[in-house]
Amino acid sequence: MENIVTNKPNLIKWLSLDATHLLQHVQSKGIIKTEEYNDLMSLSSSRIIVIHLLDLLIGKGESTCRSFLELLKEDDVNESFPKLREWIITVDTSVTADMNGSPSLKASGTQITCNISASKGSHVYAPTIAGSSTGPVVINTTTTTRGGSDCKCNYKPER
């Protein structure tokens, strides 16, 4: 979602070149429903169509935004948008959230990798993991002591 919000002005400029072509792909992948497609197609200009499409996708959340970005990576979609093609290859669609400034939060299936750091007397407490089916939890940490040596810890609770 962050990639779409941050790059929204450019996405509007690039995708407005052929909004109808884009909508065909978005609908065929099931990213939007037929009713949403019809509503977008009834709008007056390509620019307005793209603005409303991006707002709709952002409103649907992270997973939908990731699906849209993955769609934009497909050659038959981005061939109509040269500037988009240059940009989209730099986008990591596995990044799913910012988690309050964490530089790396990646998801792969049910595995989540998160880098959290603290400095200058601040502290990092154990992350909270919640959900109806979180699966096994393994926590691997590396800390650096004031003397500069690393301390590695692995935690895998018994189920």
Query: Count of CB atoms within 10 A of residue 87's CB?
Result: 17
> What are the sequence ranges of the domains in the chain?
2-88, 105-155
Cut 0.85: pTM above it? no
Q: Which two tokens stand for residue 121?
A: 């007397």
Q: Is 91 left (phi over 0), alpha (psi -120 to 50) or beta?
A: beta
| Model pLDDT for residues 66-112, shown as the tens digit of each residue | 999 999 999 999 998 899 999 999 988 874 444 434 444 444 444 55
Residue 15 has pLDDT above 80, yes or no: yes
Residue in the block written with tokens 């941050």? 6
Summary mean pLDDT of the chain = 78
* Whole-number pLDDT of residue 131: 53
What are the residues whose beta carbons fall under 8 Å from the beta carbon of 156, sequence distance 6 or more?
136, 137, 138, 139
* Whole-number pLDDT of residue 74: 94
* Whole-number pLDDT of residue 109: 46
Q: What is the mean pLDDT of residues 121-127?
A: 60
Which fold, 2-88?
Answer: Death Domain, Fas (1.10.533)
